[in-house]
Amino acid sequence: MKPETLSFFDKVYEVAKLIPFGRVTSYGAIANYLGAARSARMVGYAMNASHGKDVPAHRVVNRKGLLTGKHHFDGTNLMQQLLENEGITIIDYQIQNLEKVYWDPSKEL
């Protein structure tokens, strides 16, 4: 692959697709894996453009495990529904047992 041809967004998508079923990760973790630890905002920005892609954006949350991006989904609780469908417990858009479902690409890969 020629990363030069892939924009920062594209790299984010590739990593997001690698997130295992029933797991979640944070924007900062993805950014860190891409070598841009301080570009966590860019990851979120990229997810904003992830619509139409095969990117499981619902598995990406902020470092607190809070579904900050839920507002960008169609329904009001769609994002939460998708995660709960994967066996993740969520209360008020806050992921429970975060440490158990957390997936760090820089450590797992």
Partner DNA sequence: CTCTTGACTGAGG
Partner DNA sequence: GCCTCAGCCAAGA
Please report, as residue ranges, which positions from 2 to 21 form the binding site for DNA (by CB under 7 A).
Answer: 7-9
Please name the amino acid found at residue 28: G
SS3 26: strand
As given in the structure block, the two tokens for residue 55 are: 């990117």
68 lies in the binding site for DNA (CB under 7 A): yes
41 lies in the binding site for DNA (CB under 7 A): yes
90 lies in the binding site for DNA (CB under 7 A): no
State the minimum distance, in angstroms, from the CB of residue 77 to DNA. 13
State the minimum distance, in angstroms, from the CB of residue 42 to DNA. 4
106 lies in the binding site for DNA (CB under 7 A): no
Tell me how far apart the alpha carbons of residues 43 and 36 are, in angstroms, rounded to a whole number. Answer: 10
Closest to 35 (Cα-Cα) out of 16, 69, 58, 8: 8
**Binding residue count for DNA, defined by CB under 7 A:** 33
- With tokens 């860019």, the residue in question is 42
> From start to end of 45-93, where are the E strands?
60-61, 90-91
Give the nearer residue to DNA in terms of CB position, either 22 or 98: 98
Please name the amino acid found at residue 20: P
Question: Which residues sit at the interface with DNA, rule CB under 7 A?
Answer: 7-9, 26-28, 36, 38-45, 47-51, 57-58, 60, 62-64, 68-73, 79
